[in-house]
Amino acid sequence: MTRKRRKRRRGMKRLGNLAAVFLLLVLLLLLLPASRQMEGLVSGKTGLDSAAPGEVLQIDVKSPNAVLLRREDGRILFQKGGGEKIYPASLTKIMTVLTAIEQLPDLDEEILLPAELFDPLYAQGASMAGFQPGEQVKARDLLYGAMLPSGAECCVGVAEKIAGSEEEFAALMNKKAEKLGMKHTHFTNTTGLPDENHYSTAEDIACLLDNALKNNTFREIFTSSRYSTGGTNLHPEGITFYSTLSQSLEDPTFPGGVIEGGKTGYTQEAGLCLASLAEKDGREYIFVSAKGEGNHQTEPVHVEDALYAYKAIPASGEGTD
């Protein structure tokens, strides 16, 4: 009987040890994602992953902050100050348009642009699409007006329609940013006008654009170089918009590819900014840059950087040294 009891005790002890090891493994698995998340917070990185060492590109762009992303797997092929704080200027409107698309049940609904909306925008020198006080415009046309000519009145108009105020709409933008994992971004307005509490990173903007392009309506707007609105009460013949990128880009093609669309931005604080989409050899890429030197009257270094980065991507089947 004594031997049987000893065997039982040994068996129970072994089971106890196995259970302890199992619990330890479970705890390690649970803690690992949290530790990785903390690592991302400390390093200033988003959930985007770097490419394998052999795929990382060694290129020299002029902009202090830049990221090149391969869309098919979300890998960063190149980054320069990608996790550093930037002021996104009109790249903000990418989030404005995406949030509006998701919030508006009917894009053909007409929205009134009240007179009091315009004066603060005029006072700050905001870029405008060309609509007038008291104009009634379809929501869809306002979204094109926000993206292509970078119209601030379009952004504030849809924001007030959806949320009652620009501030409340900015709160919706921040919720969307949090959902997308944009840990180093905060919005205070819909236009990107200067505010020290309105900031992002090149990596966060790349993450935003990558996700926004999954929305077909957003993609259609973002990749348009020209758009004509329907008639309104103040513009019976409508208004024709042209993309600010297309005005700075004489030829969107480059060897093996084409720049499909983009959003430019500029304030004195933000410098020249650009978030663009390109296709090369059947693959899509996103390039984001910020703090480029110059202004609207100088050489478009942000556009030059994008072309340089896209050209540096090896053709299909080729590797990097």
- Asked if 150 is an active-site residue, the reply is yes
Per-residue confidence (pLDDT) for residue 54, from 0 to 100: 52
7 lies in some domain: no
Per-residue confidence (pLDDT) for residue 48, from 0 to 100: 64
- Asked if 246 is an active-site residue, the reply is no
9 lies in some domain: no
- Asked if 93 is an active-site residue, the reply is yes
3-state secondary structure of 316: coil
191 lies in some domain: yes
Per-residue confidence (pLDDT) for residue 122, from 0 to 100: 98
Question: Catalytic residue among 63, 127, 150, 289, which?
Answer: 150
6 lies in some domain: no
14 lies in some domain: no
Question: Catalytic residue among 45, 80, 93, 280, which?
Answer: 93
Per-residue confidence (pLDDT) for residue 155, from 0 to 100: 99
271 lies in some domain: yes
- What does the angle CA 130 – CA 195 – CA 286 come to, to the nearest 5 degrees? 70
* Nearest alpha carbon to residue 74 among 151, 216, 181, 189: 181
Count the domains in the chain.
Answer: 1
CATH number for 111: 3.40.710.10
Question: Catalytic residue among 45, 62, 90, 263, which?
Answer: 90
What is the CB neighbour count within 10 angstroms for residue 125? 10
28 lies in some domain: no
Per-residue confidence (pLDDT) for residue 236, from 0 to 100: 98
Per-residue confidence (pLDDT) for residue 49, from 0 to 100: 67
For residue 148, what are the domain limits? 49-312
Long-range contacts of 54-59 (CB under 8 A, 24+ apart): 54/319, 54/320, 55/319, 55/320, 56/320, 57/309, 57/312, 57/313, 57/320, 58/320, 59/308, 59/309, 59/312
130 lies in some domain: yes
Q: Render each residue's pLDDT in the chain as its tens digit; 321 residues.
A: 444 444 444 544 454 555 554 555 545 544 444 443 333 333 344 556 665 555 678 899 999 999 999 999 999 999 999 999 999 999 999 999 999 999 999 999 999 999 999 999 999 999 999 999 999 999 999 999 999 999 999 999 999 999 999 999 999 999 999 999 999 999 999 999 999 999 999 999 999 999 999 999 999 999 999 999 999 999 999 999 999 999 999 899 999 999 999 999 999 999 999 999 999 999 999 999 999 999 989 999 999 999 999 999 998 745 544
